[in-house]
């Protein structure tokens, strides 16, 4: 439930009533963007009432948001942008909806009190909703910008135009001691792009982050954990594909649908160097026959459609999975290829797996096979590239298979130089 508004006197109640009545007849550009079935939100009433408390302190609406079901607190260290009903969003930052999608952002007082007014708030929202297509990038950039605004607000800044380059530099310096260099560089890029967008929209005059230098960072070898070929074979062999049960005095076997699905999914990621996001987007129709061989169409990040022939072992595992699950590749082309299971029943649903579902599965299978807990979905991309290069493949072809724009990115997955045998270590004699 929304928190009750507090007033000192009847005069304040009458003033608020007249303000609401006049607001109901004058146009509200940002409020008009809210879905028609939800109540319109007054742009400043909650913030003003929070300042008008008798004790002179701002009302902490974040606590109310945390206790309200379905509300995402966008002002925490890791705010999330989710589809929650705008009518239930309560925060010390004024929540604004972005069209009929229901996505809710929380606006810092620095944005609301800027000289641009509604134009500043609109331009701020447009940066995240219009210029950024990837939802993961949008969340990361929003998190970085929110951290900067909180940092400046704690130091007495009251609007966007008051943010100076030294404040941005102090923020970057503070974050350098808290976060890794790549994370800080990403946050700096988000802040710089956001202010560039505000400058072109005539909200602020200059970009305070344009001249700020961030931490230096260069890498020659990636950090993704990679499995040896024998470990990858052991992982695939350790996944159960048959469920044995007793019926009377006889043992009977049934196909283990979840095991067959997991084996096919991991094999496809290894032999096609596919990202987990591309694998979870696969439909049954994306696995199709091309001549005498089967191919798979991967929808990689950046809108790239990448079609590859399927390795014979991955094809064998995929065919076994589809046959056991009773999935017809001609009749069910638009349905998800890899589907979730229904509890512990070993039955598959019609819903496709998400990246989180695959990660949980990989962690579970790796632990059962005795592999490192650091094994993740991206491990199989690096494992496949390294195995390909060990068998005489070229970096250029590996780049094409992995759909990398730059060969230097492909070389980050090359771990052939990591193998130092025990024999070489034993050469160290004292």
Please enumerate, as own/partner, the contacts of 346-351 that have beta carbons within 8 Å and a separation of 24 or more.
Answer: 346/243, 346/256, 346/257, 346/258, 347/257, 348/257, 348/258, 348/261
What pLDDT is attached to residue 304?
Answer: 81
DSSP-derived secondary structure for 362-394: HHHHHHHTT--TT--TTHHHHHHHHHHHHTT--
Nearest to 97, CA basis, from 29, 46, 51: 29
Pairwise CA distance, residues 171 & 190, whole Å: 13
Pairwise CA distance, residues 256 & 346, whole Å: 7
Give the per-residue SS3 of 212-280. CCCCCCCCCCCCCCCCCHHHHHHHHHHCCCEEEEEECCEEEEEECHHHHHHHHHHHHHHHHCCCHHHHH
Q: What residues does CATH 1.10.443.10 cover in the chain? A: 229-423
Give pTM, 2 decimals. Answer: 0.62
Question: Class for domain 229-423, per CATH?
Answer: mainly alpha
What pLDDT is attached to residue 1?
Answer: 44
Overall size of the chain counted in residues: 430
What pLDDT is attached to residue 420?
Answer: 64
What pLDDT is attached to residue 421?
Answer: 60
Low-confidence ranges of the chain (pLDDT < 50): 1-8, 24-102
For residue 414, give every residue at least 6 positions away whose Cβ sits within 8 Å of its Cβ, in sequence order, or none: 385, 386, 389, 395
What pLDDT is attached to residue 34?
Answer: 33
What pLDDT is attached to residue 14?
Answer: 63
């Amino acid at each position: 439930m929304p928190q009750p508004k507090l007033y000192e006197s009847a005069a304040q109640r009458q003033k608020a009533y007249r303000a609401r009545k006049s607001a109901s007849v004058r146009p509200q550009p940002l409020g008009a963007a809210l879905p028609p079935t939800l109540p319109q939100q007054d742009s400043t009433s909650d913030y003003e009432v929070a300042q008008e408390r008798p004790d002179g302190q701002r009302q902490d609406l974040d606590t109310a948001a945390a206790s309200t079901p379905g509300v995402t607190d966008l002002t925490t260290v890791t705010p999330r942008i989710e589809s929650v009903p705008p009518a239930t969003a309560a925060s010390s930052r004024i929540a604004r909806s972005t069209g009929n999608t229901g996505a809710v952002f929380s606006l810092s007082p620095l944005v609301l009190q800027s000289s641009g007014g509604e134009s500043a708030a609109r331009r701020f929202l447009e940066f995240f909703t219009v210029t950024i297509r990837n939802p993961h990038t949008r969340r990361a950039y929003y998190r970085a910008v929110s951290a900067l605004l909180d940092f400046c607000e704690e130091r007495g800044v009251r609007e966007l135009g008051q943010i100076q380059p030294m404040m941005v530099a102090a923020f970057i310096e503070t974050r350098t001691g808290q976060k890794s260099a790549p994370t800080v560089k990403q946050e700096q890029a988000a802040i710089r792009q956001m202010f560039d967008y505000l400058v072109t929209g005539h909200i602020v005059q200059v970009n305070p982050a344009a001249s700020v230098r961030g931490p230096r960072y260069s890498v020659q070898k990636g950090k993704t954990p990679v499995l040896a070929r024998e470990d990858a074979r052991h992982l695939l062999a350790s996944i159960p594909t048959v469920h044995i049960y007793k019926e009377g005095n006889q043992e009977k076997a049934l196909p283990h649908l979840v095991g067959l699905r997991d084996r096919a999914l991991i094999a496809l990621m290894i032999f096609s160097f596919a990202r987990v996001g591309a694998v979870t987007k696969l439909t049954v129709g994306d696995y199709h026959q091309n001549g005498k061989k089967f191919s798979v169409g991967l929808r990689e990040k950046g809108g790239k459609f990448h079609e590859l022939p399927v390795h014979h072992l991955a094809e064998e595992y995929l065919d076994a999975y589809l046959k056991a699950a009773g999935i017809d590749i001609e009749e069910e082309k638009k349905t998800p290829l890899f589907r979730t299971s229904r509890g512990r029943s070993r039955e598959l649903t019609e819903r496709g797996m998400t990246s989180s579902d695959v990660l949980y599965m990989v962690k579970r299978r790796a632990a059962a096979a005795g592999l490192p807990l650091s094994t993740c979905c991206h491990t199989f991309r690096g494992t496949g590239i390294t195995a390909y290069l060990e068998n005489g493949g070229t970096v250029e072809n590996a780049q094409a298979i992995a759909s990398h724009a730059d060969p230097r990115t492909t070389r980050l997955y090359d771990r052939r130089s990591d193998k130092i045998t025990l024999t070489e270590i034993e050469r160290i004699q004292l």
